[in-house]
Structure 1
């Protein structure tokens, strides 16, 4: 049991403060071998009396103090109940109050103890013994009487209350340790479940494009190399990142996700690196950043191509040095984190346009994993459809489902701009609408969705003017139709169009499509 984990428990801290305030006595912890925790940290926290302080300051006295604690631990080693005892093992002659730390399984972990004090009815009887011990150790005490008078005292009546407080401290530590052990056990179970869920075998696809991707995954899964996952929106980039984490050497450590395009620079910096109290208006307490949360594990940075130049510099520092500076802090923090980044943009082209730092690009692109779009792996459609149909049917307690031949034909003809995510959403919709029917027919298809990629827009669109104007007009019309088809669901439309939601919102504003009015009239023109 690591007692250092429990020192900051509110009740433990409060009890230690009360004992210090009321009786001027310090609580300490020793492990099952009698090793004092403070000494393991290189600290000596002496009792509040000049005699003990002088003893701990000398080599021989320090050795004898530790030996006294070891003997006290041996005296309660076989005790199976959390009950305070007064032990007479102190080499100077002070009593030691000690409570064994025994967990819910009966395992002995050490003890909480306090020494360097006197009981009020024993001050006179112990005086000579303490004086003899001080002389024998050659302690540099100028005034023995004054030093003895300064030793903290507890009355017999207070001793019972003092012991109750020590027992309560141990009970809280044992209870918290039990809850912590159960939580860690549950985390291990969940980690095992996640590892099973995100095995490479659970990533559906046997097409040549997927086979090439799996070949790369198998080679890099056991490494700590930084990885850049590229592909259109909805292709499953996060699924690939999770599979790499839960099957790699960091599987038992945190997996943290952040979409960098979702926040502005100020919020993103605070989210990634944390901040200290008072760093800005509203920073009322220290906040741990996600890089610190991910320490020892994997940090998945999605949409990294949308990161500003200023934030790119800060990310580069973490990749190069493993350090970062929380907002408002003056001392950098060090972390050990594996970075897996993802983007749907061409970072190499962005580097050429000076929109992305070249040094960061090469740091991220150590290993590149390209996730193919669904239109390039149509041979995987039957397996994907079967997988999603089974999942959705089981989720809703329905019987087996299958698509009619006509529906599958339309699926093959459709380009799926939203990729796997769009396919999964469409199948979920079809399963819900089909009720108890086993066969799902074409009458339930989302006709607005399957119209995309069919050439309908281009056939109806009249090409005129310069190329830029024609492209802009077509883009506007596609967004208008998509808003109608998705009932103004921007997230769903962004997935279908293969762009980020942020980009879609910008284009809606650019084309003056913010007001809904009656968009059907616009589309019909």
Structure 2
């Protein structure tokens, strides 16, 4: 049975109640499919501006008779063909105007008004009303025996027709809102299913030993509620892993909130995380809920936590330890139940040694650690990733294009400093430049990828080094290779590479000249 109580709060229903009360002194009420008045079930009795109805509703026997009259209306709406509106005479002889609410071809309830009459009350009619009142409320009869009929709402035939239209309109509003609500719920359910499917572990692409080890670890992590730290270079898929943990865990139906800690300065980040109250600072014209409050019951993914200032680290530590925080400018703490998943590309242990990251917070976030391998350490996954991105970004007719053998070899030789994100961008670029070609050749690849492909493949980790030559020659060979790969990665930006290597630009220029790396290779 559909619960109609939420629909009593609809704005259109509230307006309708005000109009009917103002025009005719009647009250619009809901009844469920069993004929029970919803207001009565919640302990509220709201009579119309009819003193006889008031006397009936506030006496035990009269209240019972009024409810019996409502159930008779229910029976009339159920029987025979579907009615647009019903006008029924109650036990006192007043009109009940009711419109059915049908949901899924079943009577879910109805809207109704009661207590009106269509003709002036005669002396005989008034005497009959007083006789009925004496049957169930004898103490109220003397107050009603004043010889007038001003306490009885009277409707002309035109007014009665207008009232029927308004009550029917209210019922139609409820049915239309229910259908819209059900459509939205179906959409939300579909999107939730898509999200859960999208972030299943088997949709994380890779068959390399490193990725398989990640899968085995995630299966255990998802069953827990502990804080997780995801460490990996930029573009390795830290947020994807965080979403997989959330959507495969016990909080899957709850919110998943994301915030990059390096996106704002301290003041803005504090307000974003914890919210603020009105007047907390210039421009705070209203209270604002923070992201921790928005994530209550769910998961909060804090990306680049290593960039968080020491002041905010203290507040974050309190959330992790006690589950409480205080919005900016507020005095009362707010309690939340949030699972925190943090991510960083930095070495937090080294930040702790340098005093840039709180040691106690480090141990709080580093309960369960997931280390994502860079793409250069899982080159065997590149063909699978390429196939996935080709299918994802190809929007033409037929099957997606394929890569030539030379192009695939070039992709596997490149070091991918931007990891999977850089690979996806490269594939998207290939599709655009290749137009409708069935095979994408190496000539369509970016210059930096082609440059890497022109060099002999670097020695794989774990392979036996060459022990020939002097130590000085071996060190120089390693330094030359290291600088060359850096030049490719930075597109021959020597200022950027010098900063990364921790040496001066003039020193790097000297080394490039010494090793013959002072210009891009010509093709």
Q: What does residue 4 of structure 2 align with?
A: 3
2:425 is matched with which residue?
A: 425
Q: Deviations over 1:70-94 (max 9, x none)?
A: 443333234664622223345x654
Q: Is the 8 A contact 2:102 2:108 kept in 1?
A: yes
CA distance in 2, matches of 1:140, 1:319: 66
For 1:56 and 1:31, the matched residues in 2 are separated by 19
Q: Which residue of 2 aligns with 1:169?
A: 170
Matches within 5 A, 1:350-499: 350=351, 364-393=365-394, 399-405=400-406, 407-448=407-448, 455-456=483-484, 471=502, 473=504
- Deviation, 1:166, is 1.2
Counterpart for residue 485 of structure 1: none
Residue equivalent to 1:121: 120
Query: Structure 2: how far apart are the matches of 1:476 and 1:125?
Result: 115
The corresponding residue for 2:209 is: 208
Equivalents in 2 of 1:438, 1:431: separation in Å? Answer: 10
Compare 58-67 and 13-22 and name the one that shifted more.
Answer: 58-67
Residue equivalent to 2:219 = 218
Deviation sequence 1:256-275 (CA, Å, 0-9, x none): 44434334556556655667
Partners of 1:336 and 1:48 in 2: CA distance: 50
Instruction: State the 1:113 CA deviation.
Output: 1.9
Compute the displacement of 1:102 (Å).
Answer: 0.8
Distance of 1:180 and 1:66 partners within structure 2: 30
Tell me the CA shift for residue 98 of structure 1: 1.6
- What does residue 106 of structure 1 align with? 105
Distance 1:106 1:66 in 2: 25
Residues 376/323 of structure 1: CA separation in 2 closer, same or farther (3 Å cut): same
**Preserved CA contact (<8 Å) 2:401 2:440:** no
CA contact (8 A) 2:51 2:144 kept: no
RMSD of Structure 2 on Structure 1 (CA): 4.6
Quote how far apart the aligned CAs of 1:167 are.
0.8
Instruction: Say if 1:93 and 1:129, in contact at 8 Å, map to a contact too.
Output: no
- Paired residue for 1:25? 26
**Contact 2:208–2:380 (CA<8 Å) still a contact in 1?**
yes
TM-score (norm 1): 0.72
The range that moved more, 54-63 or 255-264, is: 54-63
Moved more, 277-286 or 342-351: 277-286
Contact 1:81-1:102 within 8 A present in 2 as well: no
Aligned-pair CA distance for 1:246: 3.6
Q: Which moved more, 1:259-268 or 1:232-241?
A: 259-268
Shift of 1:425: 0.7
**Does the 8 Å CA contact 1:260/1:307 hold for their aligned counterparts?**
yes
For 1:314 and 1:59, the matched residues in 2 are separated by 59
Distance in 2, Cα, partners of 1:348 & 1:123: 94
Q: Which has the higher mean CA deviation after the structures are superposed, 267-276 or 440-449?
A: 267-276
- Cα displacement string for residues 189-229 of structure 1 (whole angstroms, at most 9, x for unaligned residues): 33333333332112111222211211122224355555443
Deviation at 1:433, TM superposition (A): 2.0
Note closer, same or farther for the CA distance 1:148–1:284 as it changes in structure 2 (3 Å cut): farther
Greater Cα offset, 163-172 or 378-387: 378-387
Offset at 1:110?
Answer: 0.8
Q: 1:136 and 1:223 mapped to 2: Cα distance? A: 68
1:257-298 residue CA offsets vs partner (Å, 9 max, x unmatched)? 443433455655665566788888777888766566656654
Q: CA deviation at 1:156?
A: 3.3
Contact residue 242 and residue 341 of structure 2 kept, 8 A = yes
Counterparts in 2 of 1:336 and 1:385: CA distance versus 1, 3 Å: same
Give the conservation status (yes or no) of the 8 Å contact 2:410–2:450. Answer: yes
What does 1:300-311 correspond to in 2, within 5 Å? 300-308=301-309
Q: Describe the shift of the 1:457–1:200 C-alpha distance in structure 2 as closer, same or farther (beyond 3 A).
A: closer
1:449, 1:364 → 2: CA distance?
Answer: 37
2 CA distance for matches of 1:229 and 1:401?
Answer: 33
SS of match in other structure, 1:262: coil
Q: What CA distance in whole angstroms lies between the structure 1 residues aligned with 2:123 and 2:314? A: 71
Rounded to whole Å, the distance in 1 between the matches of 2:440 and 2:102 is 62
User: CA distance change for structure 1 residues 45 and 412 in 2, over 3 Å: closer, same or farther?
Assistant: same
| Separation in 2, partners of 1:51, 1:334 | 52
Cα separation, 2, equivalents of 1:80 and 1:211? 64
Partner of residue 200, structure 2: 199
| 1:51-200 pair list within 5 angstroms | 65-78=66-79, 81=82, 83-89=84-90, 94-103=94-103, 105-122=104-121, 127-138=126-137, 141=140, 143-145=143-145, 149-200=150-201
Q: Could you say if the C-alpha distance between residues 270 and 458 of structure 1 is closer, same or farther in structure 2, counting changes exceeding 3 Å?
A: closer
Please say which of residues 201-210 and 283-292 is displaced more in the overlay. 283-292
Cα distance, 1:470–1:446 mapped onto 2, change above 3 Å: closer
Is the 8 Å Cα contact of residues 256 and 298 (structure 2) preserved in structure 1? Answer: yes
Q: Is the 8 A contact 2:120 2:154 kept in 1?
A: no
1:469-525 Cα shifts (integer Å, max 9, x gaps): 9727469999xxxxxxxxxxxxxxxxxxxxxxxxxxxxxxxxxxxxxxxxxx9xxxx
From the superposition, tell whether residues 262 and 377 of structure 1 become closer, same or farther in structure 2 (CA, over 3 Å): same
Q: How many residues were matched structurally? A: 473
Q: How does 1:209-358 map to 2 (within 5 A)?
A: 209-222=210-223, 224-264=225-265, 268=269, 297-308=298-309, 338-347=339-348, 350=351
Could you say what secondary structure the match of 1:368 adopts? strand
1:171 is displaced (CA, Å) by: 1.0
Q: For the residues of structure 2 that align with 1:332 and 1:99, how far apart are their CA atoms? A: 49
Cα distance 1:322–1:435, how it changes in 2: closer, same or farther (>3 A)?
same
| Structure 1, 393-402 or 230-239: larger mean CA deviation | 393-402
The 1-side partners of 2:119 and 2:494 are apart by: 103
Distance 2:35 2:333 in 1: 37
